[in-house]
A and B are shown apart, each in its own frame.
Chain A
Amino acid sequence: MKTKKILVKGVEAIALGALEAECKCYFGYPITPQNDIPEFMARELPKRGGVFLQAESELAAINMLLGACATGTRAMTTSSSPGISLMCEGFSYIAALELPAVIVNVMRGGPGLGGIEASQGDYFQAVKGSGHGDFHFLVLAPYNAQEAYELTAKAFELAEKYRNPIMILSDAILGQMKEPLVLKKLKIKKYPKDDWALTGAKGRPSRFLRSLFLDAQELKEMNIKLMKKYKAMQKDIKFESDISEEDNIIVVAFGSIARIAKEAVNNLREKGYSVGYFRPITLFPFPEKPIKKIIEKAKKPLKFIVPELNCGQMIEDVRLAVEGRASVISLPYPPSVIPFPEEIEKEIKKCLNSLSSRKV
């Protein structure tokens, strides 16, 4: 059978990925720039025997998601920055109950209501803390429609594998841009749920899911269990790397700006400059080890340049990975100032000049 190629928006690719993974329930509340997802799900899910429900608020949507996931059903919600903030309490409970939920944030400008321009201002929120307590999402950051499709489908598998919420972190550019998508059949593994899911106690003792542990020892054990889980996620680190040992500048970027940075790197290489490119795809766990390896293999002193559509957030994780062994420079682009490739090229050249490197 010939695989179909279609021209779709990034947000439609996310919805198609969810269908490919046999997502059965969608709960959400409208917000720009991700409304194409609920529109698509409202049309497609009922046809497949699924449930689409537009909740009365984000708070309701996230708790509906919690409920559906507690029964072991594949379910998701999607929103954009301000809406995601409203869901944060629910994220913490979902993480505490170890539920396999998939959450999509198509980021827009903030803080507050912000604007509808593309932004990566929610990096900290996604990676460091979107809710109280010691918990993490596994965060996936696609950078084109194909990845949006494949990573969203994969998110449902990873959610079940770790019994942990997964966040897809996209933005308004990736979401609203149309690109060809090859609708590949994907192998999405299913994990058994019969030892924890709430499916009715017929024929077995009753069980319940809870996040309240008044016994201090029990709470500690729960946290240690989560900690071990987050460490285990290291196995699923994903990244794209295009670096040679000769490079002394490495550009590190994720999501939409990674594409603009890639264009800048390609242009510089064509002109004979030696510049590397590194793109984290999992933002948590952050690909620390691969970055350490780059430093170990380098023949020259390195400089890392981190362009972001925010005032400098991922740069902190790059610094932690680098451990002071190379300089790390931030290129901040707050909402509405999306740089052209030429601008990033200029900034990289400035760094090259300060290294007094020659053209090769």
Chain B
Amino acid sequence: MKLELIISGFGGQGVLFAGNLIAQASMIANYNVTYLPVYGPEMRGGTCNCTVIISKKSIASPIVARPSFLIIMNYPSFIKFVPKLKKAGSAIINSDFVKPENIEDFEKLEKKYKFYFIPVSSLAESLNTPLLANLCAIGAFYQITKVFNRKQFEKALKEILSKGKAHLFEPNLKAFELGAQYIKKNYKI
């Protein structure tokens, strides 16, 4: 098993946090992982992405030209990364920001790839935690791939939310669950 994941969105959407968390949970699930953030002036506003590779075998290159999985948080990221997706690759797409009707040749793309449209931003807002759209997306990723299990995810989340942020554990977990449930309800895996 080898999964090459690119997560992309606006700076501030928690793209890097999501990549780090998925890498941590996958490591706990006994996979080899690499997590490569792009860094620089993406702190606010600009597009920001990171690459997570999850593999049973040891990982050589931490960068990939053609990912097998995408988490797309905004429209520019869709335009940038979907054409790079591997054949039969999957993408979780933030349907609050990416509308099929705005995409050229959407039907063609839909035949080539497996898309999971999920309104992660409004789901997070429904919990009064608009900053946790990234956790909804991770919930969806978990439900689709099952790379790690619930327990492993919770352990990873606890480790990443160090002492000072422990109170954020429950809200993060709720957003994660909401994302997972949405996929369960709306897609056959």
Contact = CB atoms under 8 A, between A and B. Distances in A.
Given A7-B24, A178-B23, A259 B61 contact: yes
Contacts of B40: 116
B37 A340 contact: no
Given A173-B36, A177-B34, A180-B33, A263 B24 contact: no
A179 B60 CA distance: 12
B94 interface: no
A176 B62 contact: no
A262 interface: yes
A179 B34 contact: yes
Query: Top 10 nearest A-B pairs by Cβ distance?
Result: A340-B65, A263-B61, A263-B60, A262-B60, A178-B35, A260-B61, A177-B36, A341-B61, A259-B60, A180-B27
A54 interface: no
Interface string A175-216: 011111000000000000000000000000000000000000
A342 interface: yes
B174 to A, nearest CB: 24
B111 to A, nearest CB: 24
B121 interface: no
A259 B62 contact: yes
B20 interface: yes
Given A5-B27, A7-B23, A176 B37 contact: yes
A33 interface: yes
Contacts of B35: 7, 177-179
A54 to B, nearest CB: 22
Nearest to B160: A7
B181 interface: no
B20 A116 contact: no
A266 interface: yes
B144 interface: no
Given A178-B23, A263-B60, A33 B39 contact: yes
Contact of A340 (B24, B39, B60, B64): B64
Contacts of A266: 60
B32 interface: yes
Interface in A109-124: 116
Interface in B5-33: 20, 23-24, 27, 32-33
B173 interface: no
Given A7-B23, A7-B24, A116-B39, A260 B33 contact: no
B61 to A, nearest CB: 4
A343 B63 CA distance: 12
B65 A176 contact: no
Contacts of B34: 177-179
A7 B37 CA distance: 14
Contacts of A338: 63
B65 A173 contact: no
A47 to B, nearest CB: 16
Contacts of A259: 60-62
Contacts of B33: 7, 178-180
A80 to B, nearest CB: 13
